[in-house]
Every structure is written in structure tokens, then in C-alpha cells.
Amino acid sequence: MSIEDILQALDDECREECREIFRRAEQEAKQIMDRAQADAEAIRRSRLEKLEAEARSESVSMLYSARLKAKNAVISAKERMAEEALREAESNLKGLRERSDYPAILEGLVKEGLTRISGKAVLRVDPADRELAEGIMRGLGIDYELRDDIRTLGGAVVSDAAERVTVINTVEERLNRAREKLRMQVSKVLFDEDEAEAAAGGG
């Protein structure tokens, strides 16, 4: 299996966990919305039956309140599930260094960083990865300086000698990138729901 395949497999594994938890959030959110809409409709019918003029004004207010409450519940549910997905992913990554394929993973992350710089490379790793990183850099046969002055769950920071270009390829940075992508997905879903709701209201 190539280094690219290993890195892709790691990214796919993290995304699959996020998708599974996100699907559960979608189901929970739908149940909340269904219950809220049913309650709102029951309130509306009850009020209209009692007194048409007074009930219409009151039911509109209550319906709006119920919808707002449901929307907030949906947002909270999705945000909670997103954070849960990230916590699970972070927990799984804590043992990355003990995995048998970690040397290949570290090599892939180092090589990925090296493709973005030229000349002498400065490689920064956790002290726990110093020996492994030395072997990787010697095997690549390039001019480099190795520093074991960062604390990380795995991965490396690669820069040129002048440190004008720095590539942060640590496990934590990968997780942060996943976090931002997941937040964008949540925002997109909420935005799409707002658009659909506005279109339904306009009809």
C-alpha cells in the first residue's frame, strides 16, 4: 500500500466516523422538528376553534415560538453530534504512534510537507519521533536539520531553512482541518433548511 493510500485511508476513516454521527444527528433533529410541528399545529387548531379572531393572533405567535424552539433544538443537536464526532476522532488518534503503520504515516506526512518547500529542510517533531524521523530523512537523502522541540500526537512541521514557508502536518492540525470542514457542513445544512423554509413560507 502506498503512502498516499495510507493517508487517504486515515482521512476516509475520520470522515466516515463523522458521517455516521452526523447521520444520527439528522435523525434526532428530524424527530425534534416533527414533534414541534405537530405540537404547533395542535395549538393552532385548538385556538382557531375557540375564538377565530383572538385565536388567529395568538396561534401565530405560538406557532412562531414553537418553530423557533424546534430550530434551536436542531442546531444544538447537530452541534453536539459534530463535537462528539471530533472528540471520538481525537481519542482514536491519541494511539496513532503505537500503530504498526505509524512509520509509514509519518513518512507520508513528512514527504507531503517537503513537496511544498525547496532547499534545505527544517523538520520539527515530537521527541518521541526523533529516531524515526532521522531514519526517514536519511533515507530521503536530502539536506536537513532536525529539531525535536514540539509536542504532538504525531506528524511533523516542515519548513525551509529561512522558515519563510512552513507546513504544519501534525495530527492536531489535521484534526483542526476536519473540525472546520465539519462546521462548514453543519452551516451548509442549516442554511439550506432556512432557504427551504423560506420558500415554503412564500408558497
Question: Would the pLDDT of 192 be above 60?
Answer: yes
pLDDT at residue 203, rounded to an integer: 52
Question: Would the pLDDT of 85 be above 70?
Answer: no
Percentage of the chain exceeding pLDDT 90: 34
What's the CA gap between 15 and 17, in Å, rounded? 5
Q: Residues 145-164: pLDDT tens digits?
A: 999 999 999 999 999 999 89
The range of the structural domain enclosing residue 13 comes to 3-93
Q: What is the DSSP secondary structure assignment for residue 126, as one 8-state letter?
A: -
Considering the domain architecture, whether residues 52 and 122 belong to the same structural domain is answered as no
Considering the domain architecture, whether residues 110 and 60 belong to the same structural domain is answered as no
- Sign of the C-alpha dihedral computed for residues 159, 161, 163 and 164 taken in this order: negative
Considering the domain architecture, whether residues 65 and 112 belong to the same structural domain is answered as no
Residues 96-121: what's their mean pLDDT?
93
Considering the domain architecture, whether residues 114 and 86 belong to the same structural domain is answered as no
pLDDT at residue 179, rounded to an integer: 79
- Asked whether residue 16 is assigned to any structural domain, the reply reads yes
Angstrom CA distances, 136 to 16, 56, 70, 155, 167, stand at 30, 73, 54, 12, 17
Residues 76-100: what's their mean pLDDT?
75
SS3 172: helix
- Asked whether residue 146 is assigned to any structural domain, the reply reads yes
**CATH label of the domain that carries residue 134:** 3.30.2320.30
- Asked whether residue 160 is assigned to any structural domain, the reply reads yes
Q: Residues 26-77: pLDDT tens digits?
A: 787 778 778 877 877 877 777 777 767 775 667 678 877 888 887 777 767 7
Confidence class of residue 89 from pLDDT cuts 50, 70 and 90? low
Lowest mean pLDDT among 69-78, 137-146, 183-192: 183-192
Grid cell listed for 5: 493510500
Question: Would the pLDDT of 97 be above 60?
Answer: yes
